[in-house]
Amino acid sequence: MKQLLLEDGILYEKIALIEDGKLQDFHISKKDNSVKKGDIFLGKVVNILDGMDSAFLDIGLKTNGYLHIQDIIGKNDIKNKDIKVSISNLLKKGRDYVVQVIKEPAGTKGPKLTMKPSISGKYSVLLIEDTSVKVSRKIIEKETRDKYHEAAKDVLYGLPYGAIIRTECIEVTVEEFVNDLKSLIAKWGQLSKGIEISRAPKLIYSGENIYDHLKNDFLQRDIDKIICVNDEEKSSVSKIVDQLGEDYNTEVVLHKENVSLFRDFNVESQIEESLGKKVNIEDGGFLYIEETEAMTIIDVNSGKYIGKYDTEKTFLDMNMRAAKEIARQLRIRNTGGIVLIDFIDMKKESSRKKVIGLLQEEFIKDRNGCNILGFTRLGFLEMTRKKQQKSIKELLTWPCSFCDGEGFLINSDYMMNHVIEEIRRIIRHHQSSKIQFKVSRIFYENIDKKFIEIISEEYGVSIEFTVDEELFQLPKIKRIG
């Protein structure tokens, strides 16, 4: 049974896809004024860097947005040019331009922008600065592709727009698809009127809200039930389902329990597990997932799993189980960028192909584009997943104040070595009768008192330790006398 849980809360908007009680996909967005993927701004150019083929625009945030030349005239257009195009010839400092966020800000980096904005509907995407009509690669039948391609061409005839035909359109009539595309054209017409009388920096169009995400990314024909928290949510979701036609038999209901919707369906604990590094796999294996700024590394471990077959079949079976869980974890965590997977070593090429085949099947469920590059010479499976929004780790956590996000603390032996070196340095240059060290509580509780007495006697100085609750790493020193 497939269910969607929806909660438009005070701090966060959340959607969870549950299949037979297990979390399969998850969307969360913070409800504040932070910039989101899909937001359209009127931005002002503040800096142009010809050497980097890029520019920075003020869109009203603390950090300026980044715009590359490929997101102005297109990657293919650059390749087809006989002479090099300078970004200075395309943009003027101090001028206002319409831009859209294609990648949300992360850390100290500002949002990535494009001058080719688009607006998404249920069955189509309207391209503002691109007159091409593209069909989803998941629509395989030529007859179907041609039918919707011609329909889009007819709607866009004489207009300076293009379109992307989404996979979802194959489940509806051409008329419904056309109405969807026409509504996007009307929406952009209204936005254009506002742009003409606006000055940068200004937000022109806010990207998808929770109901847009529900309609465009989660709501499929095989969803049995959508569970909402209150009457307002239930009413909004019911209207969306009704608009999709009689073929959608999805039931929309209220959650009547007093407990949290997501906690009651055991979603919170599954999300919390996905914030950790270790993830258990059915029948005893586990994954170890390390997320870094450059890439994500996943290590597959058999744990207590011993299998029922020979070594190759046992390892293949474990890796197949791991592959399904890896695809699920990438969706839930919203992990993007380069991913390296260290599967348990398989000798046969046929075994590796089976693992890749299963991953490809699982990635069909993914809302973000995934690309498997294959196994490297060192045996890692190399892949990428498109990063468009913040991961749940970025959204829901902050660096540990004890270790500054490093994941470890300097041990007490090394800290003691640091103390001894400081004592030697002080007595070499000063005559001191007492040296006081401010240390972290964890270090203070692990001090070897007898060892301190020996050091104190050897150097002829009194050594005192006091706890500083705000100190977590190397000690601070105070010389007395």
Token readout for 109 is 């980096």
At 276-312, the pLDDT tens digits run: 899 998 877 899 999 887 899 999 998 776 666 678 8
**In the predicted model, is pLDDT for residue 67 greater than 90?**
yes
The pLDDT of residue 474? 61
pLDDT of residue 81: 57
Please state, for a pLDDT cut of 70, what percent of the chain lies above it.
92
Averaged over 14-42, what is the pLDDT? 88
Q: Tell me how far apart the 2 most distant CA atoms of the chain are, in Å.
A: 93
Reported as a pLDDT band with limits 50, 70 and 90, residue 16 is very high
> For residue 48, what pLDDT is reported?
94
Average pLDDT across the chain, whole number: 86
107-130 pLDDT, tens digit each: 778 899 999 999 988 889 999 988
Per-residue pLDDT of 418-461, as tens digits, reads 888 888 888 888 877 888 888 888 888 888 888 888 888 888 88
Q: Strand pairing of 112-114 and 118-120?
A: unpaired
Query: Are the C-beta atoms of residues 309 and 353 closer than 8 Å to each other?
Result: no
Do residues 156 and 165 make contact, with C-beta atoms less than 8 angstroms apart? no
- Select the more confidently predicted residue: 75 or 456: 456
Q: Which amino acid type is present at position 179?
A: N
Q: Which two tokens stand for residue 262?
A: 């997501």
β-pair partners for 299:
288, 342
Residues 103, 94: Cα–Cα separation, whole Å: 23
Q: Are 281 and 325 in contact (CB under 8 A)?
A: yes
pLDDT in tens, 196-206: 888 989 999 88
Cα–Cα distance measured from residue 284 to residue 269, given in angstroms and rounded to the nearest whole number: 19
How many whole angstroms separate alpha carbon 311 and alpha carbon 304? 14
Q: Contact, 437 vs 465, CB < 8 A?
A: yes
- What pLDDT, on a 0 to 100 scale, did the predictor assign at position 287? 94
Residues 380-405 pLDDT 10s = 999 999 887 788 888 888 877 777 66
pLDDT at 247 over 80: no
- For Cα atoms 422, 424, 428, give the angle at the middle one, nearest 5 degrees: 120
* Contact between residue 207 and residue 38 where contact means Cβ atoms under 8 Å apart: yes
